[in-house]
Amino acid sequence: MSENKIDIKALVKDNHVCFNEYRKGIFYYQIVDTEEDLSIYSFPVPLEDVGDGTLKLYDKAITFMRWIRKAIEDNTLVVIGQLKGEYGNKTDVEILKNK
């Protein structure tokens, strides 16, 4: 995780998450920090927390705020990359699909 304090409200505002992978009972989602430096973060969503809920491939970040907050607190929100300026007006999901 970045040494800077992450503003979770700014991170999730008008933003989306994208499913990345599933491993050993944990779903991993990605979110792009569009307010700061275009860092790509990964965070875990444990299957046991989901219950009979539905997880989508692409969803509003606000829906995942509890898991993002927990990942910040547990230091499991990790930077996995950074977008560069050449992406222009593409949406974060278009960019992540091409990663």
Q: What is the pLDDT of residues 10-22, one digit of tens each?
A: 999 999 999 999 9
Q: What is the pLDDT of residues 20-67, one digit of tens each?
A: 999 999 999 999 998 888 899 999 999 999 888 899 999 999 999 999
Domain boundaries in the chain? 8-86
Report pLDDT for 1.
41
The terminus-to-terminus CA distance of the chain in angstroms comes to 20
Residue 61, token pair as written in the block: 């970040």
Distance CA 51, CA 58 (A): 19
pTM: 0.80
Taking CB atoms within 8 Å and a gap of at least 24, the contacts of 86-92 are 91/16, 92/15, 92/16, 92/18, 92/31, 92/32, 92/34
